[in-house]
Amino acid sequence: MAASPVSTDVDFSKPGRQVGRLRVPRSRDDSGWGTELIPIVVVANGEGPTILLTAGNHGDEYEGQVTLLDLARTLQPGDVTGRVILLPAMHYPACAAGKRLSPIDGKDFNRCFPGDPFGTFGQVLAHYVDSVLLPMCDFQMDLHSGGTGMDILPSACGHALDDPEMMRRTLDMADAFGAPITMVLVEVNAGPTLLAQAERRGIVALSSELGGGGRLNPENLVITQRGARNVLRHAGVLTGTPQVGPYGPSRRMTIPDLAHYVFAPHDGIWEAADPLGAMVAKGAPAGRLHLTEDPDRHAIPLNYAADGLLWCARFAGRVRAGDPVAVIARDL
């Protein structure tokens, strides 16, 4: 495949702290050779592992963005053994707009991997992350929350992996992050995500879910800040051992299949029966879907298809047919 057209003013081989930009081509009506600038921070010192921490993959998820901004301001070369690469607003145009999807090409950046150097803005950027940044990495963590539409219990997330050694290393890193939940999940469409691409490259990698609703949750921010430093300690980039949160060690859970999701069968307004974090039973009411176009029709009752913990709940009131309104987790 062709080389990336993305350039940068940071030198990844140089020791010390560098604050620079990725320059990504963006041709416009009034600027054919226009570019978008994406902030990047590299802190390197001596021989050691490389870890890439990313946030702002989706622009409406804030705990990770603020955590990496804090790290970018405070992490000093003397603290580090190896190299830390930070992208606090990886998909900067979506971050600046406070949106999940790209305001440039309309794509979900986390469905653009492994990317394409001849593709759209998001595909070009994804190809750079995959072909230039990931090959340098021993560890990667992509910080997400639930965004405008969902609210999710704070969790470090990995996929179920075929290689038992990689699964063990992934769970160890997730436990080190130290969120209340370590989650092994099946997603609706994991293939084109950054996490799946890092896994394909044999990198020990995680994503996360750290709240949602399009807000910055202060309690989840504390979890994220502790977690980011914990994974740096776990990787051996920072000294010391990971700190356990006040809720104790992470509870290992799983979402084994899509039967643990409740999907809306129709457009409408979602009225949930339970708050996020409730223990729910298979067959119990999950809530009601109100059909605004027809006052004569009863609201549609929906039931849970599995026992477990209400891990993810619809946050926005309005839903469309096919949207998940609840996701149930069980202990691993």
Shortest CB 39 distance to Zn ion, Å: 18
Report in angstroms how near the CB of residue 98 gets to Zn ion at its nearest. Answer: 13
Cβ of 46: how many Cβ atoms within 10 Å?
10
Residue with Cβ nearer Zn ion (61 or 175): 61
CB 60 → Zn ion: shortest distance, Å? 8
E-state strands within 77-123: 82-87
Residues that bind Zn ion (CB under 5 A): 58, 61, 144
- Extract the tokens encoding 60: 């409406």
Task: Say if residues 108 and 194 touch (Cβ distance below 8 Å).
Answer: no
- Do residues 42 and 62 make contact, with C-beta atoms less than 8 angstroms apart? no
Q: State which residue, 58 or 159, has the beta carbon closest to Zn ion.
A: 58
C-alpha–C-alpha distance, residues 207 and 157, integer Å: 5
The least distance separating Zn ion from the CB of residue 226, rounded to whole angstroms, comes to 20
C-beta closer to Zn ion: residue 214 or 242: 214
What are the DSSP E strand ranges found in the chain?
7-8, 16-25, 35-45, 50-55, 82-87, 139-143, 150-159, 181-185, 204-212, 251-255, 261-263, 268-272, 279-280, 285-290, 300-303, 308-314, 318-319, 324-331
| Minimum distance of Zn ion from residue 66's CB (angstroms) | 15
Using a 10 angstrom Cβ sphere, with 0-12 exposed, 13-18 middle and 19 or more buried, the burial of residue 85 is buried
Closer residue to Zn ion, CB minimum distance, 101 or 171: 101
Chain residue at closest Cβ approach to Zn ion: 144
Smallest gap from residue 97 Cβ to Zn ion (A): 15
Alpha helices in 132-183 (DSSP H): 164-177
Dist CA 18 CA 259 (whole Å) = 46
Q: What are phi and psi of 232, to 5 degrees?
A: -65, -40
Residue 58 or 83 with smaller CB distance to Zn ion? 58
